[in-house]
Amino acid sequence: MDFNLSEEHLAVQEAARDFAQNDLLPGVIERDNEQKFDPALLKKMGDLGFMGMMVSPEYGGGGMDTLSYVIAMEEISKVDASAGVIMSVNNSLVCWGLQMYGTEEQKQKYLVPLASGNVIGAFCLSEPEAGSDATSQHTTAVENGDHYLINGTKNWITNGNSSSVCLVVAHTHPEKGHKGINVFIIEKGTEGFVVGRKEDKMGIRASDTHTLMFSDVNVPNENRIGEDGFGFKFAMSTLNGGRIGIAAQALGIAAGAFELSLKYAQERKTFGKPISEHQAIQFKLSDMATRIEAARMLVYKAARIKDQGKDYIKAAAMAKLYASDVAMWVTTEAVQIHGGYGYVKEYHVERHMRDAKITQIYEGTSEIQKLVIARELLK
């Protein structure tokens, strides 16, 4: 495997790093405290092409490969994981799903503005009693002539309030199990579509996470994605790609915490010398760097396999499993290296530690990733 990045990939990396350091870093603590993401930053992310990176240029996207996407995700998540998850959902779940499986009319109407960042999207799968289990949907879609009536509740929806376009998973034929599931494009503002309470989260606090409620929401037939019963396959396919994005986010969180720790260790002095000269700190830094590099190789490998058009289910699950565990471990060590300073917001690493935890949970918990990997191994 060639471990060298091309000039194009290096250019993406530099652009994402510049945006993260110059635009995201100022105000990142305030956004976390206030639980709000600046719309001006979201617009700039769109202007820079970060909201539709893998979308074909004919639909307003960047036409880039998955590796470019994860490189940008890492750099942005080093500074602000909330920006990373907003970008991840729009790219991996919403735009990618529409480009792969949407009709030409759906692409022109919805994908084009989503890819440009003029609007953002939400992926609505999780429910109060159906998190990662896509087969246990209680949201229903009853066919009624030229439209469907959608009823149900979706929980923990990233971009739930800020999105304009939602991809909603619902059961049309419950008696058919997973073969009776469909996915519908629902626009914000449709009658009966209500944005519920905002979650007060431990981490990624600047991204909005809401409950969404649907009461007799009228959705035209042409807003169903794919053939009748295609919804389960759509959800599983998009989640597989989504795991690569979350793995890249976890990688970025870990790398960001490490870079802060390395800098702090070289500046902070105890007993007359920088703490980086103490063997105990050197051991921590060495372990952190090694695990991050291993995670990066898994993430890059999954991205390359996807770009090659090969089956990437196992690679994506491995990358997400390992990178999220590394993010949690590295950020905990980062707080430890910073000592008392690590426990206060000014030094950023406590936020990285809070942000890291969610990467072990969404797009399927670590236990679910192990089940996916085992299933692939035992085929």
Active site residues: 363
- Strands 269-270 vs 273-274: parallel, antiparallel or unpaired: antiparallel
Cα(93)–Cα(97) distance, integer angstroms:
6
Cα(18)–Cα(54) distance, integer angstroms:
20
Q: Which residue, chain included where needed, has tokens 């007799």?
A: 216
Residue 222 has φ and ψ, to the nearest 5°, of -70, -5
List all residues 6 or more positions away from 207 whose beta carbon is below 8 Å from its beta carbon: 37, 82, 83, 85, 86, 158, 159
Beta bridge partners of 218: 149
Using alpha carbons, select from 108, 132, 7 the residue that is nearest to residue 55. 108
Cα(257)–Cα(111) distance, integer angstroms:
34
Cα(325)–Cα(320) distance, integer angstroms:
8
Distances (CA, A) of 220 to 106, 129, 152, 224, 372: 12, 27, 17, 8, 35
